[in-house]
Amino acid sequence: MTLLLLAMLLALNPQDPDTKAVLKLEDDWASALVKRDSATFERLLADGFVYTENDQTMDRAAVIRSVVAGPDTVVAAHNEEMLVHRYGATTAVVTGWLVVDGRGADGAFTHRYRFTDTWVKRGAKWQIVAAQDYVAAAPD
C-alpha cells in the first residue's frame, strides 16, 4: 500500500531539474568509484568538503586519494532508495544506500553504506560539501 501511494505521488509530482541533476551526480559518484576517476571527484567535491565514515573523518584530498589509489578494487557500485530533501534553491540533502562490490586484502566484499550527502548549488553547478556514511553490518 505504501509503495503504491509513493508511486502515485511521484507520478503526480515529477522531479524538478535540480533534483534530477543531484540524483545524477550521486550516480556519477558511484560510477567514479569503479573507474577510480579522479576528475569526477575533483568536479563533485567542493573545496572544504568533509567526509565521515563511522568514526573516521577525511578531507577532500584524502577522499580523492583513497578512491583513486586505495588498496581496495571496486568492481560494481550503485545507489538504492535515494531521496532528495530540498532546502531552498541552493541546498539539497540526499539520503540512500550505496552498495559497493569489490576485492580487498581479505578477498571479495559487498559493503552497504547508509549515506547522507549535502549538496550546495553555486552558480549553475551542484557540488557536495559534506557526506556521512555508515557501513551496515553484513547479514549473518
Q: Delineate the domains of the chain, giving CATH numbers in brackets.
A: 16-135 (3.10.450.50)
Query: CA–CA separation, 102 vs 33, rounded Å?
Result: 10
Single-letter amino acid, residue 87: Y
The rounded radius of gyration (Å) of the Cα atoms in the chain is 16
State the pTM of this model.
0.86
Three cell numbers written together for 1:
500500500
Predicted confidence pLDDT, tens digits, the chain (140 residues) = 665 555 554 554 468 999 999 999 999 999 999 999 999 999 999 999 999 999 999 999 999 999 999 999 999 999 999 999 999 999 999 999 999 999 999 999 999 999 999 999 999 999 999 999 999 987 76
Name residue, grid cell 541533476. 21
